[in-house]
Structure 1
Amino acid sequence: RQRATQTIHRSIVSYPEMKTPTRDLVLSHLRQEKVQLWLPPYHQREGDVDGTKSDALRNLAQLLAEQLSSSSKAPLKVDDVYSILSQLQSHALQKLKKYCVDIKILATQQHFANLSSDDDVFASWGDTVATIKNGNTKKSLIVLRVENISSTLTVDKLASELCCELNATTARVIFKGKHISSSSSGGEGNNLRKIVSSNDGKDEQKKNELLCIVSGHGYVPPAPAAAAAAAAASSSVEGSATDTTARTDKEIIDSIRSSASRIAYNQSGFEITDQNGNLVPMSQTDSISLLTALGLHRIGRSKMEKCRESNNDEGDKRNSLASALVFLLEADAEWQGSSTLDIWKTKVDNYGLLQLDIAWNYLLLGSLENLTDATRRLEIAETVLRKQVHSNFVTLALVNAESNNPIPPLCTIFVRLFLLQGVANKMRNCNDTAAERLTWARVLCQQLRASCPPDRVEILCGAYC
C-alpha cells in the first residue's frame, strides 16, 4: 500500500504544469504529512455529498496557506493553494482510475447469508473497498467498488477469499466477457491489477468491471502444494480409476485442446468443407482452433441442457450454468484468436449459434449486469444467421406464417433469436422493439407447430436450441 502511494506521489511530481515554487512547497508538505487527496475526506466516493469534497479541500488549502507562508517569499493566497490542490487531486484520480474496479458478485441468498457485516472483510483488495447499494431486495447481486486495487491481488486469491467468506465451492471470474483464471492467464497475467489496467484506448471512459459467479456450498480450502503433489502422484498410480472421477473445467478444456491437436495432426488427414462440399483451405493451427471452439461449445451446451432437465436445487443449477458459461466464453475466445476463423464467422452458422447460447446463459443466470453484452451478442447472431439464408427468408416466413401458409423448419432458429431479443429489449425498456421481436417469435412458433412435421422441428431444436 505504501509503495503504491509513493508511486502516485512521484507521478504527480513529474506532472509538467506543476513545477513552480508554490507547487513545490505544497507537494513537499503533502509528502511529508502523507496527505492523500484521492481519499476521503478530500475525495468522496460516488453517491456522497458533493459539498463535502469542496469544504475539506478548501479547509486544507487555508491551513496550508497559513503554514507555508513562512517558507515563502510572499504570503500564499488561499485560492492559489486551492487551485494547486485541485490540479493535484485531478491528476492523481486520473492515474488511479485505471486501477479501480467494480466487482459484481452473483450468488444466492444462502451465500450472502454467510457474508459478515464487517466492512474490512475484503480490505486487503485495495485502498478502499465499499459496497454499492443496488436496490436488489433479493440480494442475488452485490457490487464492491475497489479503489487502487492491490498489486498482490490475484485471480486465485480473489476467488478463494470469496468462496471462504460466502461458504462456496467455486467462484468464476469474468472480465470483458472472458473467463480468466490462473491457468488461462498464467504468470504475471494472473495479477488482477495488471488485468484491469490493460484497458485499450476505446474503453477508457468505461468503468472496469469484474463479474464473479459464485456457486456450490461448502468451502474447501486449497490443498497445500505437497498434498496436491501427493494426490496427483496417487491418482496417476490408480490408472483407469481416475476416469470415473469428476474432472475440473480446466482439465476438460485441456483435454479438448489436446484431442483437437491429435485430430489435426493425424496422418490420415483432416479436411474441412463448406455447405456445398468445397474444400476449405485451413492451416493446422487454425484447424485446431476450430475443432477446439466446436468442442468447447458442445460441452457448454450439454451442461446447459443438463441444467434444464435437472431437478436439483437452484444452487446446483447455478453451478452448472456458471460452468457452462466458462466453456462458451472459452469457445468464443478461440474464434477471436484465429485470423482465419475471424473470416469464417459470417460464413457458417456456428459462431452465431455460440452468441445465442452465451446470451441465453446470461439471462438464465439473471446476470443483468451483462445485459449490454448479451444484446451485442444477439445482434451479432442475427447478422450471422441471416447471412446463412436468402435475404428475404425471414420476411417471407413472417408473411407466410401470418397467412397460415407452411413455413420451413429452419425458422426454428429464428424463433429462438427473436424470443431472446424480445426479452433482452424488454429488460432494457426498449418496449417497441421488444414487442416487435416477441410478436415475430410468436407468429413463427405458432405456424411451426401447425405446419411442420414434429420430428423435423425436434431435430432442429436439438441442433439449434
Structure 2
Amino acid sequence: MATATSFIEEYNLKCVRDKLNQEKIKLWLPPYTTNDGQKGEMPQELVEKYSKELQMPQDLLQETLEQLRIHALQKLAERDKFQKSGLASLKVKISGKTNGTNDKAARSPNVSSSQTLSIEISLSVTGSELRQKVADDVGIPIDQTKIICNGHIVNGPTSLQEQGIKNGSRLLLLCLSVTEAEASRQQEQISQLMETRHAAELLSARAENEDDDEYSVQIADQSGRPLQLPPQERKALTLAMTLHEKGRTALKRKEVNLALPLLLEADKEFKRCSAGILTSVDNYAVLCLDIVWCYLHLRNIEELPDAVERLKKSEECFHKSYGLDLSRLTAVKGETGTQLALYVRLHLLQGIVAFHQHNIPQAHHYIQKAEQELNRLDVDGATLTEVMTMGFSEREARLALRASNGDLQGAVTHIMKRREEKEDNKRKAKDERKKNRLAKILGNTASGTRVNVENYEMLLSMGFPKGASAEALRQANNDVSQALEVLQNHPELLSLPEPSDPQHNVEEISDELVAQIIAMGFDPEMARRALAMNWSDLEKAMNDLIQREGIMPPLPAEFGSSSSSSTSGSTPSSASISPTKSPKELEEEKLAIGKLVLDLPEDEEDYIDLTLTEEAQLLQEYKSLLESLNKT
C-alpha cells in the first residue's frame, strides 16, 4: 500500500530531478562529484535557490540531491560496463509468494529489501536462460516463474534483445505457487495446441454445428445479436476471448500471478483481429482493464509504463463501443447501469495511476468521478434479497437493480425482458447454425461457393423439389433466373432425391449393399456415392446410377468420402480439421477443449457483474491518501 510519506519522498525526488534536467545540471560532474567519483561540493546558492523555489527545507534538499547523485553514478557505471563487456544491468521486481523457498533470495546481496533483484546478463541470451538465472537467484523452480517486461511475457526461444529488453530495463517476476504452476503448465499445453490452430478451429466448428451443443461459442454485439465473421476472424477472436475468460477466472480466484500471463496472451491474440471487429465488441476494453487491475494487485502499477496506455485504449474502446456518455448503449439497451460498473473500475484505476504519477489534480478528478458512479450503483441489501426471494439469481437481481436505479418493480421488469432477449438470441443463434448446416449439406456451386440458402428456399416456395432446387443452383452458381432455366431444360432433375448429410449416409452404408451394386457392373466408389445420396435405399441408388450412366457427382467436399480425405480450398474452419486423425488424437483434442471451457462463464453478462467491493475499498484507501497529502 502506498503511504503519504512514501508519496512525498517520491514527489520530492521527481521535483528535484525535473529541476536539474530543466537547468541541465549534471550531478556526476565536478563540482558536484570529484574526478575519482567521490562527493564534491554543492554550491550554497544552488541549495538556497532550489529550497525557495521548491519550498523544501535545505537539509532535505541536500539529502535528495545526494540520493540523485549516487543514482546517476550507478547508471553511468552500468552503461559503461554494458558498452565494454556487453553485460546489461536489469532490475527484477519480485512479486508473489515463494512458499518459504526464497531464503536464498533473502540472503543474496543482489536482492534489495524492497524485493528487487539486480542482475547482469548479456542481451543475446534467450528468455529461457534469463528465466533460469532469475529462478536460481530467487531460489524457486523455473516452472514457478513468469517474467514480464513492458506488458509482454518474456518468451523462451528468442533473445532478450529481440524481445525489446534493454540495458536498465525493469522487469516483473511472478512467483507462482505450486498449484498455479501446475495450472500454468496445463494452460501452456492448451495454448500451444490452440496456437497450432487445432483447438481454435475445433471450437469454432462446433459453435456452427447444429448437432453439437457440447461447446456453444457465441460472439455477439452489444445487443446480444450474433456477429457474422469470416472464418479467420472468428478463430482469432475465439482464441483471444477464451484466453481472456481463463485469465478472468484465475483473477476471480485471486490467482493474480497466473491471471496476468493469461491476459497478456489474450492481448497478443486480440491484436491479430481487425480494428473494426474490436470496436463492435467491448472485450478488448475490458481486457485492458483486467490487465491494469492485475498490476494494481501486484502493487506494481507505478512501475509498468503500459498501464497508462492500456487505460487510454480501454477508454477509447468504450467510447467507440458504447458512445460518448454511453449514448449508443442507451439507444441499444435502454439503460447504462450495468456497464457503468466498468467505468467505476476505469476511473478508479485512472485516478490511482495519476496519484502514482504525482498528478494530484487529475487523481482527485478521477477518484471523485469513480465515487459518484459507485454511489449511483450502490444496491440496497434488503431490496437485493427481496428480488432474490422471487426466484431470481443474485447476479440477475444485482444487475437489474443497477439498471433500474434501485426500483424493485423496474428490476423485475428488467429481468423478464433480459430473459426474453436471451431466449430470442439463442433462437437466432440456433437458426443461424441450422442455416449453416443446411448450406454445408447443399454443397458448393460450380464456381466453388456455397449454395445460397435463401435462393434455395425461394425455389422451394415455387414448388420445386429439394433435390432439383439444390442441383439447379449448383449449376447456375446461385443465379435464380438461370436456375429456373436449368430446371425447365432438364426435367430429369425433378426426380433427384432431396439433399442429405452425406457423411451420415456414408457411415450407414453396409458392405452388403455396396457389393450388390458392384455385382451389377458399377464402380465401387460410384456405388457408395449413390447409396449416400439416397440414404442407403438400394432401388433408388440403382435408378440414380442408371439415369446418370454410372457417373455420380462427388459428395460435398467438406464432408469427405470413404476413399478420400481431401477438402476444398474454400471450405470453412470446420473443414480444416484433418479427417485423417486417429481416434486417439481426436480424443486428445476433445479433452483439451474440455479443459479449456471447463470454467468459462455461461452467462454473457458475467464480465459486468462486479460486486464493486474491492473498488470501494481501494477508493477509500486513495481518498485517505489524498486527504493526508492535503493536510501535509
- Whole-Å separation in 2 of the counterparts to 1:333 and 1:349: 16
Q: Which moved more, 1:277-286 or 1:323-332?
A: 277-286
Once the two structures are TM-superposed, the CA of residue 142 in structure 1 deviates from its matched residue by: 0.8
Q: 1:101 to 1:94 in 2, by over 3 A?
A: closer
The 8 Å contact of residues 151 and 304 in structure 2, kept in 1 or not, is answered as: no
Deviations 1:330-355 (A, max 9, x none): 000001133x2x33233321000000
Once the two structures are TM-superposed, the CA of residue 290 in structure 1 deviates from its matched residue by: 0.5
Q: 1:166 to 1:371 in 2, by over 3 A?
A: closer
- Whole-Å separation in 2 of the counterparts to 1:155 and 1:376: 25
Residue 155 (1) aligns with residue 127 (2): yes
The 8 Å contact of residues 265 and 284 in structure 1, kept in 2 or not, is answered as: no
Select the residue among 105, 127, 134 that pairs with 1:115.
105
Deviations 1:311-346 (A, max 9, x none): xxxxxxxxx2111111000000001133x2x33233
Once the two structures are TM-superposed, the CA of residue 108 in structure 1 deviates from its matched residue by: 5.4
Q: 1:102 aligns to what?
A: 90
- Whole-Å separation in 2 of the counterparts to 1:281 and 1:99: 52
Residue 179 (1) aligns with residue 140 (2): no
Once the two structures are TM-superposed, the CA of residue 273 in structure 1 deviates from its matched residue by: 5.0
Q: 2:137 aligns to what?
A: 165
Q: 1:163 to 1:100 in 2, by over 3 A?
A: closer
- Whole-Å separation in 2 of the counterparts to 1:373 and 1:250: 24
Q: 2:36 aligns to what?
A: 52
Deviations 1:120-148 (A, max 9, x none): xxxxxxxxxxx596xxx5x2x3142536x
The 8 Å contact of residues 371 and 424 in structure 1, kept in 2 or not, is answered as: no
Counterpart of 1:332, as a letter, is: D
Once the two structures are TM-superposed, the CA of residue 302 in structure 1 deviates from its matched residue by: 0.4
Task: Point out where structure 1 has 5 or more consecutive residues left out of the alignment.
Answer: 1-43, 55-88, 120-130, 200-205, 221-243, 308-319, 398-405
Q: 1:321 aligns to what?
A: 256
Residue 435 (1) aligns with residue 382 (2): no
The 8 Å contact of residues 102 and 139 in structure 2, kept in 1 or not, is answered as: no
The 8 Å contact of residues 311 and 346 in structure 2, kept in 1 or not, is answered as: yes
The 8 Å contact of residues 289 and 311 in structure 2, kept in 1 or not, is answered as: yes
Once the two structures are TM-superposed, the CA of residue 210 in structure 1 deviates from its matched residue by: 3.2
- Whole-Å separation in 1 of the counterparts to 2:221 and 2:86: 44
Counterpart of 1:284, as a letter, is: P
Q: Which moved more, 1:285-294 or 1:100-109?
A: 100-109
Select the residue among 293, 303, 308 that pairs with 1:375.
308
Larger Rg: 2
- Whole-Å separation in 1 of the counterparts to 2:172 and 2:34: 29
- Determine helix, strand or coil for the equivalent of 1:114: helix
The 8 Å contact of residues 98 and 196 in structure 1, kept in 2 or not, is answered as: no
- Whole-Å separation in 1 of the counterparts to 2:202 and 2:170: 38
Q: Which moved more, 1:426-435 or 1:155-164?
A: 155-164
- Whole-Å separation in 2 of the counterparts to 1:369 and 1:111: 27
Once the two structures are TM-superposed, the CA of residue 98 in structure 1 deviates from its matched residue by: 9.0
Residue 463 (1) aligns with residue 607 (2): yes
Alignment of 1:187-202 (within 5 A): 189=158, 191-196=159-164
Select the residue among 223, 233, 246 that pairs with 1:286.
233
- Whole-Å separation in 2 of the counterparts to 1:92 and 1:162: 23
- Whole-Å separation in 2 of the counterparts to 1:365 and 1:409: 27
- Whole-Å separation in 1 of the counterparts to 2:164 and 2:85: 10
- Determine helix, strand or coil for the equivalent of 1:115: helix
The 8 Å contact of residues 256 and 296 in structure 1, kept in 2 or not, is answered as: no
Greater relative contact order (Cα < 8 A, sep 6+): 2
Alignment of 1:148-297 (within 5 A): 149=122, 151=124, 153-169=125-141, 170-182=144-156, 186=157, 189=158, 191-196=159-164, 207-216=168-177, 247-257=185-195, 258-265=198-205, 268=209, 274-275=221-222, 280=227, 282-297=229-244
Task: Point out where structure 2 has 5 or more consecutive residues left out of the alignment.
Answer: 1-27, 39-76, 211-216, 385-395, 403-604, 611-632
Select the residue among 315, 322, 341 that pairs with 1:412.
341
Once the two structures are TM-superposed, the CA of residue 280 in structure 1 deviates from its matched residue by: 4.8
Q: 1:252 to 1:409 in 2, by over 3 A?
A: same
Q: 1:142 aligns to what?
A: 116
- Determine helix, strand or coil for the equivalent of 2:305: helix
Q: 1:336 to 1:250 in 2, by over 3 A?
A: same
- Determine helix, strand or coil for the equivalent of 1:100: strand
Q: Which moved more, 1:250-259 or 1:346-355?
A: 250-259
- Whole-Å separation in 2 of the counterparts to 1:445 and 1:425: 19
- Determine helix, strand or coil for the equivalent of 2:324: coil
- Whole-Å separation in 1 of the counterparts to 2:378 and 2:224: 32
Select the residue among 251, 254, 258 that pairs with 1:304.
251
Deviations 1:23-48 (A, max 9, x none): xxxxxxxxxxxxxxxxxxxxx9xxx9
Q: TM-score, with normalisation over the residues of structure 2? A: 0.42
Once the two structures are TM-superposed, the CA of residue 443 in structure 1 deviates from its matched residue by: 1.5
- Whole-Å separation in 1 of the counterparts to 2:117 and 2:268: 26
Identity %: 20
Name the Cα RMSD after superposition: 4.3
- Whole-Å separation in 2 of the counterparts to 1:419 and 1:210: 25
- Whole-Å separation in 2 of the counterparts to 1:255 and 1:97: 40
Tell me which stretches of 4 or more aligned residues in structure 1 moved more than 4 Å.
91-99, 108-112, 116-119, 244-247, 269-273, 276-281, 450-454, 458-461
Q: 2:318 aligns to what?
A: 385
Once the two structures are TM-superposed, the CA of residue 115 in structure 1 deviates from its matched residue by: 2.0
Q: 1:297 to 1:380 in 2, by over 3 A?
A: same
The 8 Å contact of residues 102 and 140 in structure 2, kept in 1 or not, is answered as: no
Q: Which moved more, 1:102-111 or 1:288-297?
A: 102-111
When the two structures are aligned, how many residues end up with a matched partner? 307
Once the two structures are TM-superposed, the CA of residue 53 in structure 1 deviates from its matched residue by: 7.0
The 8 Å contact of residues 260 and 292 in structure 1, kept in 2 or not, is answered as: yes
Select the residue among 276, 281, 285 that pairs with 1:352.
285
Q: 1:116 to 1:150 in 2, by over 3 A?
A: farther
